[in-house]
Structure 1
Amino acid sequence: MNVLFLTLVEINSIEERGIYQDLLRKFRNEGHHLTIVTPVERRKKVATNFNEKEGVSILQVKTFNIQKTNIVEKGIGTLAIEYQYLAAIKKYTSDIKFDLVFYSTPPITFAKVIEYVKKRDNAKSYLLLKDIFPQNAVDMNMLKEGGFLHKQFLKKEKKLYVISDTIGCMSPANVSFVLKHNPEVDKDKVEVNPNTIEPIAFSYSDEQKKEIREKYHIPVDKKVLVYGGNLGRPQGLDFLLETIQETKNHEAFFLIVGDGTEYAKIKNWFDYNRPENAKLLQRLPKEDYDKLLAACDVGLIFLDKNFLIPNFPSRLLSYLEMKMPVIAATDCNTDIGDIIENNSCGYKVIAGNQVEMQTKLKYILNDDLQRLGDNAEKLLNNEYLVDKSYNLIIEKI
């Protein structure tokens, strides 16, 4: 089967690890001919190109800078990418008849590309809904509700839902949200298709974990609670810093590993407060990050308390992969905390409620981390393996 995947994620190799790379590798390994359309930002000074690599075709499309740039170029680049992708697909894939086109949000601006491929090739379309935009931007006060831009993006969002034959959402709460706010969408074409991975085993002895901690000057006699990933406004990280400051339990040590728009602010807080119970590390290479994660005890998830959309951060899978219990401090609309508690692999907290956070920290520090970790592994194997996502998509063809 000829398969087309559209993404805003820069994919250079499907042998790397990640929710998209793992799924794409599964398609390749099952014998499908896969074409990946991925951006290469103009700052890279690389022209649009089409190459065969690792058993797949990769179409790199030169775009404006859409990551880590000013809001004007990001906005223009996001709108222009639809036309840039369409032109590249017409030029480089005219001799390929696709059976399936699937794609993820963000962005919501792929409608013309999808329509073209569906009409040209009579292809099926599948949306992996990883981000509900523009509502998330409204929640973060980055977009004025009811304003001109908001209305334009709403039209594009609804168009994307209409032209998608199937919409795969990350969790049951996401399915409910989409159907509630888009009553024109046929409920039979919306399903749960969660973030999934192809896990690998991380088996380190106590001595190896001690060596890893010593390498990064992390206490070997504490229970390390780690937050790893993007450090941005959506994560509501002021609550994490408040938690570090308010936690008096000498058994707990907090580790923050990541990068993003809020990194400088967090570093300034660390420089000023110099907390003895916490450490900040900037982004690490994936292999080093995984090793460090494997030497920690509890995973942390934070989301801004103002979110109305039910986000479901993929970092949960990294923690489950490490057989690590989790504390999720989130808004009240996401179901990630409920899933964690219902599967007995951690605790949920409403973001901003420090009393509740301290209670749940006490619970987890006094709990059997081995038991919680075993349950975390079971949850991963039952719900979040890449075979699940692949089979759900293939069933629709």
Structure 2
Amino acid sequence: MNILFLTIADIKEIETSSLYKDLLRKFVREDHNMYVVSPAERRTHEKTHVLESMGAKILKVRTLNITRTNVLEKGVATILIESQYYKAVNHYWGDIKFDLILYSTPPITFNKVISKIKEKYGAKSYLLLKDIFPQNAVDMGMLKKDGIMFNFFRKKEKKLYALSDYIGCMSPANVKFVLQHNPEVDVSKVEICPNSIDIKANTIQTDKKAVRKEFGLPFDDTIFVYGGNLGKPQGIGFLLDVLKSNNNRKGIYFLIVGRGTEYNKINNWIIESKTTNVKLLPFVPKEKYNHLISAGDIGLVFLDKHFTIPNFPTRIMGYLLHRMPILSATDVHTDVGKLMELNGCGFWVESGDLNGYNEKIEYLMNKKDQIFQLGENGYKYLLSNYEVSVTYNAIMAHFNK
């Protein structure tokens, strides 16, 4: 099939591993023709151009800055992108008959390019729902419920759902949320199509003690690892509460790797407290990140307690890959922690419940023999549920009949 993939992720090649690149490589390996559309943001000073990687064609479209910019530019860029993408696709690939359009959220503003290509070629459309906007912006206090901007984007969201022949959600809670809040959506077109990774491409052989020595981590402590964004959605205030309540505790060490608006808040506390059992490292490339977190024993997940939408942080797959139990603190709507508990891969508490979270830490410290078994359970769960073939098969099930 000729498949068009629309994304705001910065994709220049598909050789390296990431959430979308792993899936794109899988499609290429299965002899599909992949056409990828990705932004060349204003800060790069690049003009619209085409690249090739492992058989996939990648169209980099000049846009305004969509990421790491102010709210005004991000909003304008998000509105303009559908016209910019359609114009570029029509110019460079106007003679390609697309069979399938794949696209992910964010953003929710691909309606024009999707509808035009569907109308032109009769292509099917599949939404990979990674972000439920604008409700998540309301949860984080960025938009006012039923305000002008909320209503504008809500109409865009509903239009996107209507245009999509299939909607792939990350977890059962996501499916439930979409159907409850959008009763006009046909139940039969909403399904689970999980985040996934190419396990073979991501598997690395490491010596845990050697990695700990390389990064100055204690050899004998139990290391709790947090890797990923350090912003308001991650509920970093609660992460700080956990660090403070375990400050300088013997036998426990926290490794935090990432970047975001709350990075300095953590860094300032580390400096002021002169803590001895927390290390904060800035964002590192994916390959180095996989190497680094292999030094850990337990993976941490944090999400802000105010979320009313279910999220599914991709970092859990790295933890599962390295056979680490997962200790989650999230809102009550997100089901990732509950899924980990149900499948014997870790524990969950509601974000803000410091006593409950520390009880789980205490349990793991007193039952160190169970850390290994929980990690093995997690790896098996990863193989069955989050390997890239699972996502690929969910999509292709609609075309292999």
TM-score bracket for this pair, using the shorter chain length: over 0.9
State the match for 1:232 in structure 2. Answer: 231
User: Which whole-Å CA distance do the structure 1 matches of 2:362 and 2:376 have between them?
Assistant: 20
Aligned partners of 1:202 and 1:322 also within 8 Å: no
Offset, 1:51? 2.9
SS at match of 2:344: coil
State the match for 2:385 in structure 1. Answer: 383
State the match for 1:218 in structure 2. Answer: 217
Paired AA for residue 261 in structure 2: T
State the match for 1:335 in structure 2. Answer: 335
Task: Give 1:337-352 correspondences, 5 Å limit.
Answer: 337-352=337-352
User: Which whole-Å CA distance do the structure 2 matches of 1:105 and 1:245 have between them?
Assistant: 35
Q: Tell me the alpha carbon deviations over residues 69-121 of structure 1, each in whole angstroms, 9 at most, x when there is no partner.
A: 11111111111111110110111111100000010000000011100111111
Task: Give 1:1-397 correspondences, 5 Å limit.
Answer: 1-200=1-200, 201-204=203-206, 208-247=207-246, 249-367=249-367, 368-397=370-399
User: Which whole-Å CA distance do the structure 2 matches of 1:180 and 1:337 have between them?
Assistant: 21
Q: Tell me the alpha carbon deviations over residues 242-293 of structure 1, each in whole angstroms, 9 at most, x when there is no partner.
A: 1011126522111100011221222222222222221100011212111111
User: Which whole-Å CA distance do the structure 2 matches of 1:162 and 1:209 have between them?
Assistant: 49
User: Which whole-Å CA distance do the structure 2 matches of 1:388 and 1:165 have between them?
Assistant: 19
Paired AA for residue 172 in structure 2: P
Aligned partners of 2:12 and 2:51 also within 8 Å: no
Offset, 1:178? 0.3
Could you tell me which runs of 5 or more consecutive residues in structure 2 were left unpaired when the two chains were aligned. Answer: none
User: Which whole-Å CA distance do the structure 2 matches of 1:313 and 1:161 have between them?
Assistant: 22
User: Which whole-Å CA distance do the structure 2 matches of 1:288 and 1:274 have between them?
Assistant: 27
SS at match of 1:114: helix
Paired AA for residue 71 in structure 2: I
Instruction: Report the number of matched residues.
Output: 394
SS at match of 2:199: coil
Aligned partners of 1:37 and 1:59 also within 8 Å: yes
Paired AA for residue 375 in structure 1: N
User: Which whole-Å CA distance do the structure 1 matches of 2:179 and 2:151 have between them?
Assistant: 19
SS at match of 1:348: strand
Aligned partners of 2:321 and 2:379 also within 8 Å: yes
Paired AA for residue 332 in structure 2: C
SS at match of 2:347: strand
Offset, 1:53? 2.6
TM-score (norm 2): 0.97
Offset, 1:13? 1.1
User: Which whole-Å CA distance do the structure 2 matches of 1:94 and 1:185 have between them?
Assistant: 31
Offset, 1:295? 1.2
User: Which whole-Å CA distance do the structure 2 matches of 1:287 and 1:22 have between them?
Assistant: 14
Paired AA for residue 209 in structure 1: K
Name which of structure 1's ranges 20-29 and 271-280 shifts more when overlaid on structure 2: 271-280
User: Which whole-Å CA distance do the structure 2 matches of 1:53 and 1:280 have between them?
Assistant: 35
User: Which whole-Å CA distance do the structure 2 matches of 1:202 and 1:236 have between them?
Assistant: 30
Offset, 1:365? 2.1
Aligned partners of 2:15 and 2:53 also within 8 Å: no
Q: Tell me the alpha carbon deviations over residues 326-378 of structure 1, each in whole angstroms, 9 at most, x when there is no partner.
A: 10110000111111001111100110000100111112223321111110101
Offset, 1:202? 3.0
SS at match of 1:225: strand
Name which of structure 1's ranges 44-53 and 379-388 shifts more when overlaid on structure 2: 44-53
User: Which whole-Å CA distance do the structure 2 matches of 1:363 and 1:117 have between them?
Assistant: 55
User: Which whole-Å CA distance do the structure 2 matches of 1:24 and 1:272 have between them?
Assistant: 45
User: Which whole-Å CA distance do the structure 2 matches of 1:53 and 1:383 have between them?
Assistant: 28
Paired AA for residue 136 in structure 2: N
Give the superposed CA RMSD.
1.0
Paired AA for residue 189 in structure 2: K
Paired AA for residue 230 in structure 1: N
Aligned partners of 1:233 and 1:262 also within 8 Å: yes
SS at match of 1:221: coil
Could you tell me which runs of 5 or more consecutive residues in structure 1 were left unpaired when the two chains were aligned. Answer: none
User: Which whole-Å CA distance do the structure 1 matches of 2:276 and 2:292 have between them?
Assistant: 19
Report the identity percentage. Answer: 51
